[in-house]
Structures are given as C-alpha cells and as structure tokens.
Chains A and B, each alone.
Chain A
Amino acid sequence: EDQVTQSPEALRLQEGESSSLNCSYTVSGLRGLFWYRQDPGKGPEFLFTLYSAGEEKEKERLKATLTKKESFLHITAPKPEDSATYLCAVQGSGGSYIPTFGRGTSLIVHP
C-alpha cells in the first residue's frame, strides 16, 4: 500500500523567509510524484510531476526535488499570495492507477 507523509502539518513564514516542505513516501515502484496547491474553498491545482530521483522542477518561487525516499518543495522568498495548503501525491506501479495523497502542509506567509 502506497503511503505519503507530509511535514510539517502547518508552517508560518514571514514574507521573504525561505523554507522547505517535506513529502516522505513509501511506494512499490514509483511512477510519479505530484505536488498540488489548494486554496481555501477550492479544488487542488496541479503544480509539478517528478518521475525519478534527482529530478527537479521550478515554477516561480517554487522548486520541487525528488530522492528515492522523499520530495521537497522549496519556497524561495515567499509572498503572502503563496499562502495555501500544499499537497503531495504518489503513484506506484502496483494497485490502482490513481495517486495516493498526503494530508498536506498548510502554509501561511505573513506580510
């Protein structure tokens, strides 16, 4: 059974204070690791897919990295509009074709 653990559960930052969110996973044959952003009252919005260890992807102030056991979402010089819940999901080679989600990290960036 695929498992995803995200930490911390909540993170408060000052504007401009860089930090990282962690996603640890256990999966039988990783096919893909996904990052999503979810704003209050809305559905998750897709950010990145990472396929293999060592891969990195960037979007504005966000950079996602992947190792064989975990992924990090680095947030550089965050702004208040980066405040959201960030979700991680994994898809393995066994079981269903559908990703398993972690519980998310709630990020608040204060001006």
Chain B
Amino acid sequence: NAGVTQTPKFQVLKTGQSMTLQCAQDMNHEYMSWYRQDPGMGLRLIHYSVGAGITDQGEVPNGYNVSRSTTEDFPLRLLSAAPSQTSVYFCASSRELLYGYTFGSGTRLTVV
C-alpha cells in the first residue's frame, strides 16, 4: 500500500515551458485535490475532484489544468510556467467527504 505517490520530487522549468505533475493513489479514494504551499501562505487549493470524470476549480486555478480519467490518477498540468508558480505542490486524497486527507510527499517546482 503506497498511499499517494507524486512524481517528480524536484523540477526546474524555464518560463513558458509546460509540464505535468503526476499523482497516483492506490487506496480507491474518491476525493483528490491539488494544493500549493508557499512560505507564509499556507496550503491553497488549486483544483479538486470528487470522482472520476469530475473536477472543479479551487482558490488559485489560473495557469493549471487537471483531468480525472481514472479513480487512481489525478495529474496537474502547468500550461505555460511562470516564476509565480514556483512552489511546493501537494496532492492529497480522501475516502469520504469528512475523512482526513492522505498527502503525497510533494513536488518542489522552481520556475526560472
């Protein structure tokens, strides 16, 4: 049981490049979310999904896309990277609405 797996752990991008942050969970959780964590800002919700085929925007969705074709996978796409997207990104999943979330170990992204 691996929990929530995020790849890569570290990434450096040039401004304007695109990339996909991968997130997979093996717990058959319906709820999945992407957060970014910046110093002094706490965790901010980017996008979330309440099941396969269903996604919605969070607090800071601009510049990011998501899709949920399977229960297990919830990739986050950066369309055209900007320095303001330099952050640590966490993927999380939960079995039910009011259960605690299981977080991945994070992806540290630097955009230069």
Contacts and interface: CB of A to CB of B under 8 A. Distances in A.
Contacts, number: 60
B48 A97 contact: yes
Interface string A31-54: 110101000011111111101000
Contact of B103 (A43, A98, A100): A43
Nearest to A88: B42
Interface residues of B, number: 26
Interface stretch (A12-20, A58-66, A67-75, A101-109): A101-109
Contacts of A46: 100-102
Contacts of B33: 98
A87 interface: yes
Interface of B: 4, 31, 33, 35, 40-45, 48, 50, 56, 58, 90, 92, 97-106
Interface of A: 31-32, 34, 36, 41-49, 51, 87, 89, 91, 96-104
